Structure 1
Amino acid sequence: MFPSRAVRRPGTWLAVAVALVLAVVLIVHLDRGHPEPGSAAGGAPPSTSATAPPAGQDPAWMRPLRPGEKPPQFVLFSFDGAGSHDHWSRYLALAERVHAHFSGLLSGIYLLTDEQRSRYTGPGHKPGAASIGFGGSAAEVATRVRDLNAAVAAGHQIGTHYNGHFCTGAEPSVGRWTTPGWAGEIGQFSRFVDDAHEHLGLHLSAKDVTGGRTPCLEGNWAQAFPAMRAAGYTFDTSQPSDGVKWPTRLDGIWEFWMPYVQVPALHKKVIMMDYNLWYQLGHAKNDTGQYAQATLETYRGAYRAAFDGNRAPLVIGNHFNDWAGGAFSRAAEGFMGEVCTKPETVCATYAEVTKWMSLQDPAVLDRYRAMPPAQVR
């Protein structure tokens, strides 16, 4: 699929335009391709905070904070598209070893075979048009359903990455959609999920999907949020924030911010997403260089800043991809393997963190929200 490719600092539109023009010409099908084997550090024993609870029971941290107690440092790994079998296999195995939960944000048309593409009509587009590939063969879709079922059974969350991935340049793009357009896109996503639930054995229905991330981090939120609310969505994780910031309720939707942080290797700030880092580190060239190490150091710095500061949940936004020889997948796998075993740290889903926030004294969370966003130094 096309990456979520906003590389902007809020208000810096020239950088956005350059990145968007470049990204429009990238080859699609990236999310369901054939990745290089990644290295997953995950052999360390889990800390008490990360130990999996007995089946059907909430983890020990799912409770109100005690007086004077700090929040856990939540880390939210999330992956756009969520189509690649090889990536599903690797992340599911790694997450089991380190007792982590993560979120796969599914592109709905990955549940349609290539021959079924005419079933999708994006807002303002012709039937069967999309900026990403469809689901491939019936066998590939069946494998994807099995991967999604394994994820659901293991306690991971499936959210939405919507359908056609129409970003700036593929007009009308998501940033230009009206509320009815968003409603149509969400309605089709829901139908694809429910059809797979009924006919393909998917252990997930549309009512289980409570939010996601928009293509390319784009959208007119005044138009998008009403459609999200009408669909029963409770969260979005598309908008950037300067530093690591606590989720904020905007127009009835919890916004889990994409942090804009200092990248030590670049000495400047970048939205902490794999494509954005790839573009800024090497202008999106397939030259691995030091990409994996630079990305891992960025993740570590953001974690330390949040852990030692406001304890805001840290969003690690990624794709199932092979960019730069798999450098960014190796970085994400390595970071998941090391961070999810740390004390006072919980690798969780958006749904789990939302539930945890609902259990807290609002005044306590307001005090943490009033703290400055955590910044990498």
Structure 2
Amino acid sequence: MTRLAPGEKPPQFVLFSFDGVGVSPNWDMFLDAADATDSRFTALMTGLYFLTDDNAFHYQGPGHAPGKAAVAFGGTADEVREQIRYLNKTWLAGHEMGTHYVGHFCAGSGYSGAQWTTDDWNHELDQFFSLMTNWKPNNGLDDAPEELLFGPEVVKGGRTQCLEGRLDQLVPAWQAHGMTWDSSMPSPTTGVSWPYKVDGVWEFPIPNVYSPPLRKTQTALDYNFWYSFNEAKDDPSSAPRVRRIVSETYRFMYDEAKNGNRAPLVIANHFNDWNGNAFNPAAADFMRDVCGEPETICATYSDVIAWMELQDPDRLAAWQQLPPVAAGASR
């Protein structure tokens, strides 16, 4: 953490973040890759995974019945305890813990995040933190040896389900819960650009970039890559081709940013084994490839905020005004 002197370039920050973080061999893959490259990432926790299936009734999403959610709950008591062990392992390794909220209600699942009011988002965040804090009594596991080694105070940001939600409704809820950052909003422009503040909360948008292998602009989120490739149809035989598409797009984004505006690069991913686990190996390979390169730092959202707030405000404002990169074919 240093304040740059006039004329010095910012480091190329890369921010890996993972929605949901349910127990998976892919979690181990990224913990290993981060350890090997001295990297930090952000784990975005889904509140459902703090509840066993039998205790789902402890959650009630805005406009939905108790125990209802758009994705699965945490499974058995042993599976919830394993989730806690992985969260602790991630926290102790120095990574950031954020929220992916709870019910994952997206468009098509009834009353969804795109429609939610500030009261709804406050309710959802209240439930997230309650499920996180009370995971033992909620599941009848008061005698379990595991303890969650961190509390709600470490959660300073997150990503909404399916990138849904209106800023005018979200920002007051973030402020009420002490949030300092968000990475939910699609980029307001094509390309990779610097984060910006919305009423005191740092917004790290999901970039919409040019993808050389796809020959078109693309939201740089694993599911969106999948949808662009074959409308999210499961076809494991195409996994090698999809990995190449994702890898080449990530590398293009990185090269354009590092050689251009040096805007922090957001890499948004899930641990899901979609399309024959086409996406996680590409992201892990990218982590191993670039995180050890000169002038490159793979960090968390809170790390980058601390660094930005250390800089001269006028210089930071000038970086924020630089044109987006990776918006079209490389010249």
TM-score (norm 2): 0.93
Residues 235-290 of structure 1: CA deviation (Å, up to 9, x unaligned): 11011222111110012211001110011122110110000001101221222421
1:133 partner amino acid: A
Q: Distance in 1 between matches of 2:133 and 2:178?
A: 15
2:78 partner amino acid: A
Tell me what 1:233 maps to: 179
Contact 2:18-2:271 within 8 A present in 1 as well: yes
Residues 198-248 of structure 1: CA deviation (Å, up to 9, x unaligned): 954001211110010000001011111101110001111011222111110
Q: CA deviation at 1:197?
A: 8.1
RMSD: 1.2
1:84 aligned residue (23, 33, 42): 23
Q: Distance in 1 between matches of 2:233 and 2:24?
A: 25
Q: Distance in 1 between matches of 2:247 and 2:19?
A: 19
Report percent identity of matched pairs: 48
Q: Distance in 1 between matches of 2:59 and 2:276?
A: 32
Residues 13-60 of structure 1: CA deviation (Å, up to 9, x unaligned): xxxxxxxxxxxxxxxxxxxxxxxxxxxxxxxxxxxxxxxxxxxxxxxx
User: Structure 1 residue 265 and structure 2 residue 209: aligned?
Assistant: no
Q: Distance in 1 between matches of 2:307 and 2:267?
A: 19
Contact 1:193-1:204 within 8 A present in 2 as well: no
Cα pair distance change 1:169/1:182, threshold 3 Å: same
Q: Distance in 2 between matches of 1:217 and 1:342?
A: 31
SS at match of 2:278: helix
Tell me what 1:128 maps to: 67
1:78 partner amino acid: S
Residues 78-111 of structure 1: CA deviation (Å, up to 9, x unaligned): 0100112322212111110111100110101101
2:102 partner amino acid: N
Q: Distance in 2 between matches of 1:334 and 1:93?
A: 11
Q: Distance in 1 between matches of 2:28 and 2:307?
A: 28
1:334 aligned residue (281, 285, 303): 285
Q: Distance in 1 between matches of 2:323 and 2:210?
A: 15
Tell me what 1:309 maps to: 260
1:210 aligned residue (156, 176, 197): 156
2:167 partner amino acid: W
Tell me what 1:32 maps to: none
TM-score (norm 1): 0.82
- Matches for 1:354-365 after TM superposition, within 5 Å: 354-365=305-316
SS at match of 2:103: coil
Count the aligned residue pairs.
Answer: 316
User: Structure 1 residue 153 and structure 2 residue 80: aligned?
Assistant: no
Tell me what 2:41 maps to: 102
Flag structure 2 segments of 5+ consecutive residues without an equivalent: none
Contact 2:23-2:82 within 8 A present in 1 as well: no
Q: Distance in 2 between matches of 1:305 and 1:84?
A: 34
Tell me what 1:276 maps to: 224
Tell me what 1:36 maps to: none
Tell me what 2:196 maps to: 248
Structure 1 window deviating more from structure 2 (296-305 vs 200-209): it is 200-209
Contact 1:85-1:144 within 8 A present in 2 as well: no
User: Structure 1 residue 166 and structure 2 residue 114: aligned?
Assistant: no
Q: Distance in 1 between matches of 2:136 and 2:126?
A: 15
Tell me what 2:248 maps to: 297
1:349 aligned residue (300, 313, 331): 300
Flag structure 1 segments of 5+ consecutive residues without an equivalent: 1-61
Q: Distance in 1 between matches of 2:82 and 2:215?
A: 42
1:132 partner amino acid: V
User: Structure 1 residue 70 and structure 2 residue 9: aligned?
Assistant: yes
SS at match of 1:285: coil
Q: Distance in 1 between matches of 2:4 and 2:47?
A: 37
Q: CA deviation at 1:192?
A: 1.2
Contact 2:24-2:271 within 8 A present in 1 as well: no
Q: Distance in 1 between matches of 2:87 and 2:307?
A: 24
Q: Distance in 2 between matches of 1:216 and 1:282?
A: 18
2:154 partner amino acid: D
2:186 partner amino acid: P
